[in-house]
Amino acid sequence: MRKFRKVITIIILSTLLGIPLALLSLWYQIPPRCKQFCFREAGGGESLTAGFPFPILHDEVGSSPTSGWGRIGIEDFFTLNLGAFFLDAFVYGFIIVMLFVITKSVFKSVKRSIR
């Protein structure tokens, strides 16, 4: 039971740590015809998406004012995909936990080799 609580605590903390990174991933904007890792280019009237690795926001041309076409703006937060957002937060949290586990094991092995 104690191990179960520890695992649940780690999952919750890693997700909470992943949320700011998921928000920072909104800087990565994917142009419509992008086949690789692309940063923001001219949208050309098609839907622009933001978020990495899963698109969180979509710039819908009909929902944005004409001055906001081809850009992710405050009005596009109504098209927020919560499932993709939490999946991004989980991915980033998993990366944080794995980095912590690897760092901890490296320090343990260095500590053993010093003795």
List pLDDT tens digits, range 25-72: 888 777 666 666 555 444 444 567 788 888 888 776 665 555 555 667
Contact 50, 24 (CB under 8 A): no
- Model pTM score: 0.69
Percent of the chain scoring above 90 in pLDDT:
21
Do residues 68 and 56 touch, judged by C-beta distance below 8 A?
no
More confident residue, 29 or 10: 10
pLDDT higher than threshold 70 for residue 3: yes
pLDDT score of 78:
67
What is the C-alpha separation between 86 and 63, in angstroms, rounded? Answer: 24
Report the mean per-residue pLDDT for the chain: 78
Question: Hey, what amino acid is at 107?
Answer: F
Return all residues near 36 (Cβ < 8 A) that are at least 6 apart. none
For the residues 14-33, what does the mean pLDDT come to? 82
pLDDT of 59 = 74
Contact call for residues 65 and 76 (beta carbons, < 8 A): no
Are 64 and 75 in contact by the 8 Å Cβ rule? The answer is yes
Q: What is the pLDDT of residue 45?
A: 47
User: Is pLDDT above 80 for 73?
Assistant: no
